Amino acid sequence: MIRKLQANDREQLVSIIEQTNNFSVEEKKVAVELVDEAIANPNHEYYNVFIYENDGKIAGYHCIGKRALTDGVFDLFWIVVDNNGQNKGIGKQLLDHAENFVKENKGRWILAETSSKDGYNATRNFYMRNNYSIVSQIKDFYTINDNLIVFGKYIKT
């Protein structure tokens, strides 16, 4: 089941974030900050966190929001699946939910930014398998030899 974030979800989400191997310390910190922002402001337009829950246990989440100064572009900030839930279709269900959220909110684009580091190969392949294309790349964005790759998908309403 996918549902909106609740304040009592925080502890499980922080645990999932902390156990995600390819996130840097800084990335983990930002992920937790966005969860905290969504808890503090549940009707926030920019940070909407949705939880994948199965039998009372959280197995993943996504954070999505409308990009400022646009009339239909949404950023998929995070899509995270617990290590034990990998390769079970949870990420796909979360991505489908994010795309439906965009449709329901009259969006037309969903964008997801990621790194060019080898540790993000599975992430990049995930987006490609789900009909996302690379819409932009910026060389040496995060650090030297770590490019920003922006995946996008046009959402038909």
C-alpha to C-alpha distance for 124 and 121, rounded to whole angstroms: 5
pLDDT tens string 97-114:
999 999 999 999 999 999
Residue 24 has what pLDDT?
85
With a cut of 70, list the residues of the chain below it in pLDDT: 157
Tell me the C-alpha distance between 155 and 157, whole Å: 6
Burial 116-146, CB ≥16 within 10 A → b, else e? bbeeeeebbebbeeeebeeeeeeeeebeeee
Could you give the domains of the chain? 2-154 (3.40.630.30)
Q: What is the pTM (predicted TM-score) of this model?
A: 0.92
Task: Give the pLDDT score at 88.
Answer: 86
